[in-house]
């Protein structure tokens, strides 16, 4: 009798969530993870306590398998961006309508919960098991076991949820005609912390994503349930007046922080230790196609790693799981080639679109949010959405607070941008923005959609 066992490579956020989905479909899931069990405290990685912004697409994928209640106690809503200028003044830019929020959650804690659940549903977790070689033709994996010995394991299906440096993708590149493109952006990032105050309170407004936009670089901070903030500093690796290459000692570091992030600096007692102790990580965009070969397929960052500036990498990977599960529901658990074909066909245009939007959003975060013209533009768009909720939906709302296909959101966003570019050409727009003819703008977008 056919076993129909599925091997997932990688117990990150996507591999673990997929493990739960597939176990719930009655499949026999084994997950191989090269790292030690992240639930064991002694393996907590230093300087990588990233928190993630969870938004509607992610919640929808959690809802389908009843995980909302488990996750909800560990999230903090962020209703907008709190923008810090160089003088320490702040302004609040809502993400959407009142009560629309994205939710900060610790990646480590989240992954921990998903691994627990996958195990609870019966997935076999294999930590310290690195998949070194994969035979696409035989659907078999050579696994390096914790004692260093190797084992060759045959399986019915392999799904690579093994991240931006995927070993399954690597095997597909060598054994099949997979096309692959990767791009490192000029900037990297480093994790820092703003601890709770001496009174044990949040040092800043906890219900916002804090952002210090400085043109070519920026600092952001997301709240944690322990009342600290995890900050991420994005700088170019080299070139420009402020870059990782030019911060070589405490003096350089203090000078940069006192000049550009003075209010944050005052809240960071461990800055020096953290800055020089934590790793500087790079940011990569990965595109490849096809995502499948024989009975193996890629999912999550393994096939579409993107830069983090739309806060969608994980949400998009969770949506992958949701969509794949829908296809399995429709076509059954024995038609893997068909399911995989349908999956990549429906998903690739969307992941291309969100990757592109994520790249574009970097300029918005590090630069535009400090520009008064940009803020006026956003206010006009918010008003349009309030007056014409279905005719005009801001791009951020389509991506973050809906499950509209990313490619459709991107296309709509481009049309809206063209119309807004014209609105902003009015030389008096900064003074008269409250008097713009909203009805006329809607007519313009409707005409643009018909063309
Ligand atoms: C700074 C930053 C901030 C981000 N913020 C957000 C955000 O706010 N919201 C959001 O939605 N997304 C965000 N993202 C993106 C998000 O982190 C990723 O999209 C997501 O973690 C991808 O999950 P994954 O499971 O596909 O890959 P990964 O998290 O990379 O997991 C892959 C797993 O596979 C394992 N593995 C790799 N190779 C092998 C092998 N050969 N054998 C066995 N195991 C292997 C790895 O050890 C790892 O555990 C951010 C990313 C960064 C870098």
Measuring from each residue's beta carbon to the nearest atom of ligand 1, which residues come in under 6 Å? 9-15, 32-35, 50, 52-53, 130-131, 161-163, 167, 189, 232, 300-302, 308, 311-315, 317
CB atoms within 10 A of CB 76: 19
Report the separation in Å between the CA atom of 298 and the middle of ligand 1, taken as the mean of its atom positions. Answer: 13
Quote the pLDDT of residue 367. 84
Domain ranges of the chain: 5-75+105-182+283-361, 186-282, 371-450
Taking alpha carbons only, the member of 230, 261, 227 closest to residue 87 is 261
Report the separation in Å between the CA atom of 15 and the middle of ligand 1, taken as the mean of its atom positions. Answer: 9
pLDDT digit string (tens) for the chain, length 451 residues: 356 899 999 999 999 999 999 999 999 999 999 999 988 876 555 545 679 999 999 999 999 999 999 999 999 999 999 999 999 999 999 999 989 999 999 999 999 999 999 999 999 999 999 999 999 999 999 999 999 999 999 999 999 999 999 999 999 999 999 999 999 999 999 999 999 999 999 999 999 999 999 999 999 999 999 999 999 999 999 998 999 999 999 999 999 999 999 999 999 999 999 999 999 999 999 999 999 999 999 999 999 999 999 999 999 999 999 999 999 999 999 899 999 999 999 999 999 999 999 999 998 888 888 899 999 999 999 999 999 999 999 999 999 999 999 999 999 999 999 999 999 999 999 999 999 999 999 999 999 998 8
Quote the pLDDT of residue 1. 39
- The preferred substitution site among 34, 107, 145 for testing ligand 1, maximizing ligand atoms within 8 Å of CB, is 34
- The preferred substitution site among 17, 52, 165, 291 for testing ligand 1, maximizing ligand atoms within 8 Å of CB, is 52
The encoded tokens of residue 230 equal 């995890």
Report yes or no: 342 and 336 within 8 Å, Cβ to Cβ. no
Residue with tokens 């595109």: 287
Tell me if the domain spanning 5-75+105-182+283-361 has CATH number 3.50.50.60: yes
Atom of ligand 1 lying closest to residue 132 CA: 41
- The preferred substitution site among 15, 229, 314 for testing ligand 1, maximizing ligand atoms within 8 Å of CB, is 314
């Amino acid at each position: 009798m056919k076993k129909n066992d599925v091997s997932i490579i990688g117990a990150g956020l996507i591999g673990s969530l997929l493990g739960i989905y597939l176990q719930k479909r009655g499949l026999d899931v084994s997950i191989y993870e090269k790292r030690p069990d992240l639930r064991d405290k002694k393996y907590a990685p230093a300087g990588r306590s990233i928190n993630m912004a969870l938004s509607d697409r992610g919640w929808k994928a959690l809802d389908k398998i009843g995980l909302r209640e488990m996750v909800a106690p560990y999230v903090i809503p962020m209703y907008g961006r709190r923008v810090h200028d160089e003088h320490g003044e702040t302004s609040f830019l809502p993400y959407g309508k009142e009560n629309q929020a994205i939710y900060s959650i610790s990646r480590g804690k989240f992954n921990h919960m998903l691994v627990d659940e996958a195990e609870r549903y019966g997935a076999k977790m294999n930590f310290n098991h690195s998949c070194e070689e994969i035979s696409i033709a035989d659907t078999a994996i050579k696994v390096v076991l914790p004692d260093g010995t190797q084992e060759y394991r045959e399986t019915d299906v392999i799904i690579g949820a093994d991240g931006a440096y995927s070993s399954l993708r690597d095997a597909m590149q060598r054994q099949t005609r997979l096309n692959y493109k990767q791009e490192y952006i000029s900037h990297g990032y480093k994790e820092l912390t703003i601890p709770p105050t001496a009174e044990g309170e949040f040092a800043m407004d906890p219900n916002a994503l804090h952002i210090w936009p400085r043109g070519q670089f920026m600092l952001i901070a997301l709240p944690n349930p322990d009342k600290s903030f995890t900050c991420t500093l994005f700088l170019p690796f080299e070139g420009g007046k402020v870059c990782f290459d030019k911060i070589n000692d405490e003096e350089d570091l203090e000078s940069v922080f006192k000049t550009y992030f003075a209010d944050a600096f005052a809240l960071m007692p461990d800055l020096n230790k953290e800055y020089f102790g934590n790793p500087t990580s790079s940011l990569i965009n990965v595109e490849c196609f096809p995502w499948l070969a024989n009975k193996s397929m890629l999912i999550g960052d393994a096939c579409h790693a993107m830069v983090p500036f739309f806060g969608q990498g994980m949400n998009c990977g969770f949506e992958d799981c949701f969509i794949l599960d829908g296809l399995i529901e429709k076509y059954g658990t024995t038609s893997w080639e068909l399911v995989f074909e349908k999956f990549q066909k429906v998903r690739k245009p969307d992941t291309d679109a969100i990757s592109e939007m994520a790249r574009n959003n970097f300029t918005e975060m590090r630069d535009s949010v400090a520009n008064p013209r940009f803020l006026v533009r956003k206010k006009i768009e918010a008003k349009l959405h309030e007056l014409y909720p279905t005719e005009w939906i801001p791009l951020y709302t389509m991506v973050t607070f809906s499950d509209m296909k990313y490619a459709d959101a991107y296309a709509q966003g481009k049309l809206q941008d063209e119309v807004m570019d014209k609105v902003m050409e009015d030389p008096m727009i900064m003074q008269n923005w409250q008097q713009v003819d909203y009805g006329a703008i809607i007519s313009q977008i409707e005409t643009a959609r018909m063309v």
